[in-house]
Structure 1
Amino acid sequence: MTAILNILTSLFILVIGVVALALVVLFFIDRYQTSDTVRRNYPVIGRMRNILSELGEFFRQYFFAMDREEMPFNRAQREWVNDASKAHSTNVAFGSTQTLDPVGTPIFVNCPWPTLETEAHGIVPMVIGEGVAREPYNAPSFFNISGMSYGALSTPAITALSNGAANAGCWLNTGEGGLSPHHLDGGCDIVFQIGTAKYGVRDKEGHLCDDKLREVAAHPEVKMFELKLSQGAKPGKGGILPGAKVNAQIAAIRGIPEGEASISPNRHPDIGSSAELLDMIARIREVTGKPVGFKTVVGAHGWIKNLFEEINRRGPESAPDFITVDSGDGGTGAAPLPLMDHVGLTLREALPMMVDMRDAAGLKDRIRIIASGKLVTPSEVAWALCAGADFTISARGFMFALGCIQAMKCNKNTCPTGITTHDPALQRGLDPANKAVRVANFVNQIRKEVGIIAHSVGVKRPRLMQRYHVRLRCADGRSRPLDELYPQAGADNQAA
């Protein structure tokens, strides 16, 4: 009996030793791999997330939250971006989990004779600012990276976005936090955003500085300038960057004190009318020589008609080269809940409205429309192109491509994936080289699958899709063509 107990004791110690050794090995494997940020920041324990996610597929009937029930982005959306960014198959089996019941669900009208792949056209660039800006921008991609500032995002995150954008051939918007060396790291095309605090191009009093504008414009990577009037997360309120995130470099780039919260004015103090907006656009375009536009959330829209009337009085050269339409249902920025939930129209309603007002003013060929707001999957991007957008942009989609797990810590300095934190220990988990590849993969897969939708409805490239190519589910349970819900004057409304 004593001999048996000794053997069992020895076996138990051996098993414990093997398990301990395995845990140590896994710790070092996780700590020094670069493909999974969560495992790198939380060795061994981080593996539980993947294990539980896998088990969830087998035991999903026991859980209340299904693929399409999580918010603000559900599991199906996040998994699509994850697979796309890792260059994995985005095909699914056993049918769609997408219910077609919710009002506003897009249903694309497939053609009986879809476009053959051999007849399809590749990505066609579109010029912005032609004939007006001294250096117009021939934008190569219809899908691009929306504004996320350095400060709100970490150093490795911005570095990865810059390199990924360069590899994919799309633009990267700086957000309102100014131009950092990390934006320039990859050599990608850059849209410099000017927020209400004029970070990066302000003088000591906080006013727009022409000399600093010229300095920014001197970078060949900077292709356009965007005046941010408002953003989806907080229409009517300026940007918010907690003091914990304002380190020495961010303070220097923005031109603000280190360690103090960075709160932007709720509008541009020097822009209070359509006329003053056009004056500011003309000033920036003259100083920089590059295309200039503005970003806005549509709410009250009479001012937009007044803006277009003022443009036609002054002449088309006075027009903004582009208008970015942001959705009112929230975004990457931290914001008060009432603004995020209940202020500003969603992109579903605002985008067709803006396109129709532009076209009615005869400015279709002069002003490009950029759509922004929860465009993280091919169907959403394709809908925006059908509605009349010339370009689409995404912010949160690229955060998922960087490894975001929707931990909802963006407004704190504790992001577990290193994307929205300046804690070096957490940033360490985000490897820019690995994530840059994922960013490029995401862009390429979006463009590929939007192309598949375009071919399905019978056109040769995405921008040829029209409103009659998509229907929206309505409150009565039926779907209606988008061109019936939002008729366009002079448009051919006959489905192909």
Structure 2
Amino acid sequence: MNLSLLNRYAFFVFCVLFTLASLVFLDQAWFWPATALTGLLSLVGIADLLQTRRAVRRNYPILGNIRYLFESIRPEIRQYLIEGDDDRLPFSRAQRSLVYARAKNEGADKPFGTLSDVYLSGFEFISHSMRPAPVADTAGFRVQIGGPQCSQPYSASLFNISAMSFGSLSANAIRSLNQGAKLGNFYHDTGEGSISAYHREPGGDLVWELGSGYFGCRTEDGRFDPERFAAQASLPQVKMIEIKLSQGAKPGHGGILPQHKITAEIAHTRGISMDQDCVSPASHSAFSTPIELLQFIDRLRTLSGGKPVGFKLCLGHPWEFMGVAKAMLKTGILPDFIVIDGKEGGTGAAPLEFTDHLGVPLREGLLFVHNTLVGINLRDKIKLGASGKIISAFDIACVLAIGADWANSARGFMFAIGCIQSQSCHTNKCPTGVATQDPLRQRALVVEDKAQRVCNFHRNTLKALAEMLAAAGLEHPSQIDARHLVQRLSASEIKLFSQQHVFLEPGELLSGRIAGEFYERMWRMAQAEGFEPAAA
């Protein structure tokens, strides 16, 4: 039994042993209170181990109840002792409380007005209509993905599970997410760690993310293997293929899975060794220019039998993406979709400097990609997804208003299955069983219970989005645009999103009469033949 297990169960074991040992002293009246107390605590510990709804209690019998004791005292103790310090954690107390409530089907309504200061710079809101619309049926909140070169288009939900790999997450976490996706009829992105048995077991829709390590379809030296790819991509459960160019947590940096988290199952799933850390390269070996990227997309579409193929990126040098746009025009090859990840997103561990200072935030990156495609008359042929710290219905509305067709969330669904932001993902000691390969720790995460919470969170978030849109006088998410969103710039000034941002006209980049100097300069620097910039 390892030291970590001893630490977690030590108090419970002590109570049981003390109770048993004290039975010989029952003739001593002074010993009865201690025996009664440890006996009662032993029963509590046994109940903790047998119950299935609270992972922390299963992993920390008796002691884990302290968290839920504080949680039951509202609002001050719960806000400040349980849910943590907003400055230390990447998501606020209000955001986490919202997810927990929706995942448990609890009311998320709050009394006494807004939690935000409406007069602080940066405050955002949706303006409502004097004539609200009927609340739409969220069953229609779907988007058809698959351009003119795709023969197997996919109808995706407006809200889906973003990329998180088996290896980073436990087997039970993957099972819970995928079963929840199946229950709610939305997709589950595999992350770059390939398709595991735990992704396939529940039968939920999958988007296979293909990173630079080509896990699940790699040769012995780590290069792309077309035969292995075709075998996996042909699975009916795989609905789309997503090439990961970069991710919000650490753009321009390869993924890392520490050796101590690599099990035999993970090694088999990824096609890697267990003898060292699993490090995926920062860049792909299958292509090195914008044109080669599009040729690779075309090859994957053919190998997959015509399924939608696209790529995910956190925007970096703007001229590089415009180089890809020029390559689309030159080759005629189009991705079916592009997912824009924001630098503020990401669930994986990353160097602090990358987390804080590398990559473009989601909204700026999304708007740039949207404008570029509009400017070359291809926006109607390529769908855009958005991912990066998206938690609430308002977050979804914001990205839809500036160009996205759908949204993905990683941490939101992690919260739904029990993540408490202990920030111990890389240590293999996650207290809730979400981000660990320790079989005893992940046993605490009960799939059936958490899968239903995943489904609840998805359903209730889209329901809230439908209600927000109805208040704005809109009947469908496709109707929202930058005119409906408002931001406070100072104590005395607010502006619509449409007033703050530059929106290109269809074909503007091709016309030679580009209104924005920035877009004009980036377009001149872009090259289809390479990612390096031309002279501006």
Asked if TM exceeds 0.5, the reply is: yes
User: Is the Cα–Cα contact under 8 Å of residues 143 and 447 in structure 1 kept in the other structure?
Assistant: yes
Separation in 2, partners of 1:212, 1:477: 60
Deviation at 1:381, TM superposition (A): 1.3
Is 1:264 the counterpart of 2:268? The answer is: no
Please state whether the residue corresponding to 1:411 is helix, strand or coil: helix
Q: Cα 1:69–1:336, aligned 2, differ >3 Å: closer, same or farther? A: closer
Q: Which residue of 1 aligns with 2:495?
A: 480
Deviation at 1:55, TM superposition (A): 3.8
- May I ask how many residue pairs the two structures share in their alignment? 479
Give, as a single letter, the amino acid of the residue that structure 2 aligns with 1:135.
Q
Q: Which residue of 2 aligns with 1:464?
A: 479
Separation in 2, partners of 1:37, 1:167: 22
User: Is the Cα–Cα contact under 8 Å of residues 163 and 190 in structure 2 kept in the other structure?
Assistant: yes
Deviation at 1:134, TM superposition (A): 2.3
Q: Which residue of 1 aligns with 2:173?
A: 157
Is 1:148 the counterpart of 2:164? The answer is: yes
User: Is the Cα–Cα contact under 8 Å of residues 468 and 483 in structure 1 kept in the other structure?
Assistant: yes
Given candidates 90, 94, 119, the residue that maps to 2:112 is 94
Separation in 1, partners of 2:107, 2:264: 43
Separation in 1, partners of 2:101, 2:321: 40
Deviation at 1:348, TM superposition (A): 2.5
User: Is the Cα–Cα contact under 8 Å of residues 119 and 491 in structure 2 kept in the other structure?
Assistant: no
Give, as a single letter, the amino acid of the residue that structure 1 aligns with 2:314.
V
Give, as a single letter, the amino acid of the residue that structure 2 aligns with 1:162.
N
User: Is the Cα–Cα contact under 8 Å of residues 466 and 476 in structure 2 kept in the other structure?
Assistant: yes
Given candidates 326, 336, 340, the residue that maps to 2:341 is 326
CA-to-aligned-CA distance 1:236-272 (integer Å, 9 cap, x gap): 1110100011111100111111142100101112322
Separation in 1, partners of 2:83, 2:119: 17
Q: Which residue of 1 aligns with 2:526?
A: none
Is 1:346 the counterpart of 2:361? The answer is: yes
User: Is the Cα–Cα contact under 8 Å of residues 67 and 76 in structure 1 kept in the other structure?
Assistant: no
CA-to-aligned-CA distance 1:155-210 (integer Å, 9 cap, x gap): 00001111000001110000000110100111111000100111111111211111
Deviation at 1:225, TM superposition (A): 0.5
Separation in 2, partners of 1:276, 1:25: 64
Give the gaps of 5 or more residues in structure 1: 1-8, 492-496
Separation in 2, partners of 1:175, 1:287: 20
Q: Which residue of 1 aligns with 2:255?
A: 239
Is 1:199 the counterpart of 2:218? The answer is: no
Q: Cα 1:366–1:11, aligned 2, differ >3 Å: closer, same or farther? A: farther
Give, as a single letter, the amino acid of the residue that structure 1 aligns with 2:471.
S
Q: TM-score, normalised by structure 2?
A: 0.85
Deviation at 1:333, TM superposition (A): 1.2
User: Is the Cα–Cα contact under 8 Å of residues 308 and 358 in structure 1 kept in the other structure?
Assistant: yes
Separation in 1, partners of 2:176, 2:491: 45
Q: Cα 1:487–1:320, aligned 2, differ >3 Å: closer, same or farther? A: same
Is 1:337 the counterpart of 2:352? The answer is: yes
Given candidates 432, 439, 449, the residue that maps to 2:464 is 449
Q: Which residue of 1 aligns with 2:324?
A: 307
Deviation at 1:303, TM superposition (A): 1.7
Q: Cα 1:370–1:103, aligned 2, differ >3 Å: closer, same or farther? A: farther
Same amino acid, percent of matched pairs: 36
Give, as a single letter, the amino acid of the residue that structure 2 aligns with 1:128.
I
Please state whether the residue corresponding to 2:426 is helix, strand or coil: coil
Please state whether the residue corresponding to 1:365 is helix, strand or coil: helix
Q: Which residue of 1 aligns with 2:370?
A: 355
Given candidates 265, 278, 296, the residue that maps to 2:313 is 296
Is 1:228 the counterpart of 2:244? The answer is: yes
Runs of 4+ in 1 over 6 A off after TM superposition: 60-67
Is 1:41 the counterpart of 2:56? The answer is: no
Q: Cα 1:415–1:61, aligned 2, differ >3 Å: closer, same or farther? A: closer
Give the gaps of 5 or more residues in structure 2: 1-26, 507-536
Q: TM-score, normalised by structure 1?
A: 0.92
Is 1:16 the counterpart of 2:31? The answer is: no
Separation in 1, partners of 2:183, 2:447: 13
1:199-218 superposed matches below 5 A: 199-218=215-234
CA-to-aligned-CA distance 1:350-375 (integer Å, 9 cap, x gap): 11221111111111211110000000
1:333-482 superposed matches below 5 A: 333-474=348-489, 478-482=493-497
Deviation at 1:17, TM superposition (A): 3.5
User: Is the Cα–Cα contact under 8 Å of residues 402 and 481 in structure 2 kept in the other structure?
Assistant: yes
Q: Cα 1:480–1:12, aligned 2, differ >3 Å: closer, same or farther? A: farther
1:79-158 superposed matches below 5 A: 79-100=97-118, 103-117=121-135, 122-139=139-156, 141-158=157-174
CA-to-aligned-CA distance 1:361-416 (integer Å, 9 cap, x gap): 11121111000000011111111111111010011111101100100011221111
Please state whether the residue corresponding to 2:311 is helix, strand or coil: strand
Separation in 1, partners of 2:31, 2:378: 79
Please state whether the residue corresponding to 2:380 is helix, strand or coil: coil
Q: Cα 1:275–1:71, aligned 2, differ >3 Å: closer, same or farther? A: same
CA-to-aligned-CA distance 1:447-476 (integer Å, 9 cap, x gap): 111111111111002232111111123256
